[in-house]
Amino acid sequence: MRNVLIIISTDDGETIYNAMRLANVGVAKGDEVSVFMLGKGVLFETAGGDEFNVMGEMDKFEGDFYV
């Protein structure tokens, strides 16, 4: 098991989507994953869309989440 910290500091939907996919894979493999939203990253709820379902990945996440 590893401790993983992912810092997201952008409001780009594709970037947030892929970072959260990575976070979800880590959790699924048994890692302790924390995600910290910084700067424009706090706008994650309005990022993404049909192609990049940011909120779908957020809803799956079972680690620690800090905004």
Mean residue pLDDT across the chain: 96
Q: What is the pTM of this model?
A: 0.94
Distance CA 64, CA 22 (A): 14
Distance CA 18, CA 47 (A): 12
Q: Please, which pLDDT band fits residue 44 given cuts at 50, 70 and 90?
A: very high
Distance CA 45, CA 20 (A): 13
Give percent above pLDDT 90 in the chain. 94
Q: Where are the domains of the chain?
A: 3-66
